[in-house]
Structure 1
Amino acid sequence: MFWATTIGVSVEWFDYAIYGVMAPAISHNFFPQSNPTAGLLATYGVFALSFLARPLGSMYFGSRGDRLGRRNTLLTVILLMSGSTAAIGLLPAYSTVGLAAPLLLLALRIVQGFSAGGEFGAAALLYEHVGARRRGMVFGLFNLSSYVSALSALGLSTLLTQLIGESGVNEWGWRVLFLISLPLGLTGLYLRRRVAESAVFINMAERGAVAERPVREAVTQQRRRLFSFFGLIMLNSVAYYVLNTYLPTYLSENAGVSRVAALAASTLISLTMILLQPLYGLLSDRIGRKPLLLFAAVGLVVVPLPAFFIAGLGAFVFVYLGQLLFILAAAPTSALAAVVGSELFPAKLRYSAPTIGYNFAYAAFGGTAPLICAALLDTTGSQLAPPIYIMGIAVIAFFIMAFTLPETAPYARSRPMQGAEQPESETP
């Protein structure tokens, strides 16, 4: 059960991590090289545009997940996601087909974004298969999949760069990394086909309690909770994509850090994040979700400037320590996102509501984070611009969560929740 839910998340994040770390190679292959900076900005632009399809996917698959079942919806999601990712590895380059190359890249990225819009619903299936005991730790382990994927992407990129050099990666090596998603997707399809539909959904279907229009009900009946969850994911998405997509390229292109050193340090950081996820999840079971999330927001107001400065010193140890400072503050947002989203909403909207909140936030802030950071750096010429942007997002997220996010940890359910009524619990 656990592996069946996490494998799709792994495919999703492997794709996005590969696209980020291979941004220079993608720019080299799909855009004119007369202006490398413009090509890199265009690469991040395609990255950002693909996120516009995620809200559409969240509404389509969210509705299906709450009306027709979690399991079958997730089967469709993983097929679309892995197939479109692998297809990118087969695309012709700009030097071969001209303008058709970036257009085909954009089309496949949109398919990826649409399918990825439904993957967050895997959290609903997992939630309905586990009890309340140590749920935060279980979901912390669930969230490992995104960082295992980032670790795999960064590790493979580093290894490939060392084996064939940057020129080899730019010419053909990048294709190998995208094609890996196909066997991953087929493995996920096999595992998910072996999982039973959740008893919670089957019970709702038998009682006729399934929402007829989940998306409409989520938007009209759960506005306050959607806003709270949006604030959390806004912060999580910026932190994640700056760390895993923008920062390796920033360090190698603007801070004088070697490409191999930047990738190697990011690989080690992903390994560190893997260790932190269940620890923060377990801690949230004991002290609550909200205190840790507010700690993360405050931390991301304080640490970005020193973290970027330390990482920019260039030596491997400084690159790692700068990023370590960043993730110690940011890690709770990823460790707790899925469990908070599942706990916030009633069972009949457990697939659609958090999926919508998650993907609208990622479309607005996650997909645009690398582009905005690169554009701010290019426009202002100041290396302070990207960390200041992160700090501004953290301030906004802090106030949203402080005043609207209820405590959702099971330990708090014996007393009134802060800021909202407790949604009905139908977890076995």
Structure 2
Amino acid sequence: MARQRRRAAISSVIGTTIEWYDFFLYGTMAALVFPQLFFPKGDPYVALMQSFTTFALGFVARPVGAAIFGHYGDRLGRKTTLVVTLLLMGLATAFIGLMPTYDAVGLWAAVIVTVLRLIQGIGIGGEWGGAILLSMEWGDERRRGFMASLPQMGVPFGLLLSSIVTTLTIAATGDAFGTWGWRIPFLLSLILVAVGLYVRLKVYESPLFQKALAQKAISRVPVGEVLVKHPGEIVWSMLARVVENGSFYIFVTFIISYGTTYLGMDKSVFVNATIVAALANMIAIAFFGHLSDRIGRKRTYLIGVLMMILWAFPYYALVNTKNVGFIFLATIIAMFLHGILYGPQAALIAENFPTRLRYSGASLGYQLTAIIAGGPAPLVSTWLLKTTGSSAAISLYVIVLGLISLAGTAMLKDRTEAPLE
């Protein structure tokens, strides 16, 4: 039992790391090189908006992936779906690395990269629910917050890995990065997928799902049933995530284009700041996941939301100094605060759904946020900056997201000490 618990936790972390590496890599390249590679030459602002639009479409696809793999995850099991999502994500990412550019195929370049981005979104949409449930349902009842937070660490691990690989590739290829060097990080995904599959195939199915299967308590149409029986939990989960999801993509994706185009600084400053900040994010996720087992998920999460609201203006005040030290400090604090939210979030959401519907319900609640928060965040931020010429509008945007999250979190039930069944 203890061995399988370790395997479940390790496989979830490794698998989610690989999937988020793929997902974040696209976001970084959407800010750095995709506007020049895949879209018509002309106004740089228009090209950047087009690039961020394809980035956002990946988020639109995530609820689709949540519905598809939520259905099969609640009917066939968590492990099977996790193997499929890993393959789907990895292959789509590798194909992006083989993409022809606009100069070679014209508008077909934008069409193909958009389709591959949609496939990425479907893959990541199905990944999250299975990964956190496999870890949480194998874990100790008294440590559910911590166990569910471990797969969440795949986000900073993936961010760290994609940032390091991008930085090393930029250094190694120099001026050639914009022509062919950018392809290398995408093609490396094939090696990562092979490692992930090896680890995941060694894990047994979650004991809670096995029990539901033995008792013939499996839903015939889990997505439909959870929408009918638990619509409130899905909506409140979605709203509770808004500030976590939206601010994250402002801090790690939009900030690269903000720093290079608006502040006129070198892109490596912001990529390197993200690498260091990812370490702070990892520590915060694990610690606050653990803390939520002691003081409650809801209380921990509300503290995180309030702190994120308070940080909205100081963050840009530090970044706008153009001082490298202050930029690093701003990014580290921002990502630490994100970890306060992301640590207890998985258990907070998943505990609000029964085992037979948990994959579908938790996945939908989590992934629907991507449409209204994470996906549009770089796009909205770019528009606000262009329209107002000031970062103050973006800070106000983060505060609005925070107020929405306060309302959503207040409506969720705290089941920290309640049994999963």
TM over 0.5: yes
> Which residue in the other structure is 1:205 paired with?
213
Which of residues 132, 135, 138 in structure 1 aligns to 2:141? 132
> Which residue in the other structure is 2:25 paired with?
18
Structure 2 counterpart of 1:159, which letter?
L
Which of residues 278, 301, 307 in structure 2 aligns to 1:299? 307
Helix, strand or coil for the counterpart of 1:52?
helix
> Which residue in the other structure is 2:263 paired with?
255
Helix, strand or coil for the counterpart of 2:142?
coil
Q: Does 1:246 align with 2:241?
A: no
Helix, strand or coil for the counterpart of 2:42?
coil
Q: Does 1:425 align with 2:410?
A: no
> Which residue in the other structure is 2:387 paired with?
379
Helix, strand or coil for the counterpart of 2:217?
coil
Distance (whole Å) between structure 2 residues aligned to residue 168 and residue 325 of structure 1: 34
Q: Does the 8 Å CA contact 1:232/1:333 hold for their aligned counterparts?
A: no
> Which residue in the other structure is 2:284 paired with?
276
Q: Does the 8 Å CA contact 2:304/2:340 hold for their aligned counterparts?
A: yes
Structure 2 counterpart of 1:315, which letter?
N
Distance (whole Å) between structure 2 residues aligned to residue 244 and residue 139 of structure 1: 23
Which of residues 181, 185, 196 in structure 2 aligns to 1:173? 181
Matches within 5 A, 1:1-150: 1-23=8-30, 24-121=32-129, 122-150=131-159
Give the alignment's Cα RMSD to 1 decimal.
Answer: 1.5
Count, aligned residues: 412
> Which residue in the other structure is 1:155 paired with?
164
Distance (whole Å) between structure 1 residues aligned to residue 323 and residue 416 of structure 2: 41
Structure 1 counterpart of 2:315, which letter?
A
Gaps of 5+ in 1: 414-423
Q: Does the 8 Å CA contact 1:136/1:285 hold for their aligned counterparts?
A: yes
Helix, strand or coil for the counterpart of 1:106?
helix
Greater mean alpha carbon deviation, residues 156-165 or residues 234-243: 156-165
Q: What's the CA shift for 1:279?
A: 1.1
Matches within 5 A, 1:322-337: 322-337=330-345
Distance (whole Å) between structure 1 residues aligned to residue 408 and residue 347 of structure 2: 18
Distance (whole Å) between structure 2 residues aligned to residue 76 and residue 245 of structure 1: 27
Q: Does the 8 Å CA contact 1:215/1:352 hold for their aligned counterparts?
A: yes
Distance (whole Å) between structure 1 residues aligned to residue 188 and residue 349 of structure 2: 30
Distance (whole Å) between structure 2 residues aligned to residue 41 and residue 225 of structure 1: 34
Gaps of 5+ in 2: 1-7
Q: What's the CA shift for 1:335?
A: 1.3
Q: Does the 8 Å CA contact 2:55/2:117 hold for their aligned counterparts?
A: yes
Q: Does 1:320 align with 2:315?
A: no
Structure 1 counterpart of 2:45, which letter?
T
Distance (whole Å) between structure 2 residues aligned to residue 286 and residue 409 of structure 1: 9
Structure 1 counterpart of 2:278, which letter?
S
**TM-score normalised per structure 2:** 0.94
CA offset digits 1:198-234 (Å, max 9, x no partner): 2211221121111111111111111222122112222
Q: What's the CA shift for 1:408?
A: 2.3
Q: What's the CA shift for 1:66?
A: 0.4
